[in-house]
Amino acid sequence: RQVTVQRKEKDFQGMLEYHKEDEALLTRNLVTELKPQMLSGTVPCLPAYILYMCIRHADYTNDDLKVHSLLTSTINGIKKVLKKHNDDFEMTTFWLSNTCRLLHCLKQYSGDEGFMTQNTAKQNEHCLKNFDLTEYRQVLSDLSIQIYQQLIKIAEGVLQPMIVSAMLENESIQGLSGVKPTGYRKRSSSMADGDNSYCLEAVIRQMNSFHTVMCDQGLDPEIIQQVFKQLFYMINAMTLNNLLLRKDVCSWSTGMQLRYNISQLEEWLRGRNLHQSGAVQTMEPLIQAAQLLQLKKKTPEDAEAICSLCTSLSTQQIVKILNLYTPLNEFEERVTVSFIRTIQAQLQERSDPQQLLLDSKHMFPVLFPFNPSSLTMDSIHIPACLNLEFLNEV
């Protein structure tokens, strides 16, 4: 009888070994020359896991210089890619996602018990043995903040030209144009000439596209939420600032259209499960401005209603909107001076900010909550397209 002896494959312990002279090739193939599209269909954040497995082997062999060198060239490589692709949303998302994942790995496998609560026994075997990389975690966290800021800048740059047009000028409610104040030339601050008007659907399409890219690249859900909170703040600030400067949009009909547009945005957030992000709360001043345009503005009771409703608008902003308010037709009266004085008297106790306009460049501080992965290092497969054959599985 023939006896076949099967050689047992040596167990892969989730480490990757490479020769020091291949480090430049590794950072080139895995960082600077890598296209996110090459990794479609693979585990999200694959480069981060590969880098961690390389760091782990250098830690295993107690080679501190190799760890220093790899982390430094990786970080410099990521910065180089971001500089080259400083208007590429997908590339920036890809590296934000990977930098955060590498940061999470350095925590999850640090050996600090606080970061190991969700680890399996197998994952605990994959912790670093010799080195404490706390200081490198700080560098990766700082780098993540820089990448996040670049991502916001790109997204804002795409959305900004659409906002005023989509939020204040486009009329999607049928029959509303008949009740617009007359005598104003149609204008748009978002363009010099030509028909560059945008409807709200275009803004929503663009946000869908941002959302899909961020999800596909495996960006942490908490970061995606913060991106949309920031973008919604910007939509709020730009729209409100325009409203505060333009008489032609301070009307009942714009208030109506604006409230409808905001409700569409709220619905979009719910549909994408982003309603807990705090994005709607950033729109509160605009929601109140839309309501202010629609409320009656005549009696002392109306004044009281306005004061108790508009808590997110400053006195200066409320008064400005009332002054700019344009009646729809000859049957609607202008807001009287005495009505505005009543409002001012009621609000004099408020300690409001001095400036009329919102700071549309304001950035909320970003947080990167720890998000351990359930993936085990030894289950990760390196696709041939990455040209990393020189990495040895250990």
Partner 1 sequence: STQRPRPRVLLKAPTLAEMEEMNTSEEEESP
Contacts with partner 1 by CB under 8 A lie at 64, 67-68, 71-72, 75-76, 79, 111, 128-136, 138-139, 142-143, 146
The least CB distance from residue 131 to partner 1, in Å, is 5
The residue among 139 and 204 lying less far from partner 1, judged by its C-beta, is 139
- Nearest residue to 11 (alpha-carbon basis) of 126, 141, 98, 180: 126
The residue among 142 and 267 lying less far from partner 1, judged by its C-beta, is 142
The residue among 49 and 109 lying less far from partner 1, judged by its C-beta, is 109
Sign, CA torsion 342/344/345/351? positive
Helix (H, G, I), strand (E, B) or coil at 10: coil
Q: At what angle do helices 64-84 and 89-108 cross, to 10 degrees?
A: 160
Residue 246 sits at φ, ψ, to 5 deg, of: -125, 115
The least CB distance from residue 132 to partner 1, in Å, is 4
The residue among 75 and 96 lying less far from partner 1, judged by its C-beta, is 75
The residue among 131 and 210 lying less far from partner 1, judged by its C-beta, is 131
Q: Which residues contact 300 (CB under 8 A, 6 or more apart)?
A: 342
The residue among 89 and 131 lying less far from partner 1, judged by its C-beta, is 131
The residue among 67 and 167 lying less far from partner 1, judged by its C-beta, is 67
The least CB distance from residue 70 to partner 1, in Å, is 11
DSSP character string of 65-130: HHHHHHHHHHHHHHHHHHHHTTT-HHHHHHHHHHHHHHHHHHHHTS--GGG-TT--HHHHHTS-SS
**Spatial separation of the C-alpha atoms in residues 313 and 201, rounded to whole Å:** 27
Token representation of residue 98: 């990977």
- Please give the C-alpha separations between residue 295 and each of 255, 307, 325, in angstroms, as whole numbers: 9, 11, 11
The least CB distance from residue 64 to partner 1, in Å, is 6
Helix (H, G, I), strand (E, B) or coil at 16: strand
The least CB distance from residue 98 to partner 1, in Å, is 16
The least CB distance from residue 117 to partner 1, in Å, is 17
Residue 124 sits at φ, ψ, to 5 deg, of: -65, -30
The least CB distance from residue 115 to partner 1, in Å, is 13
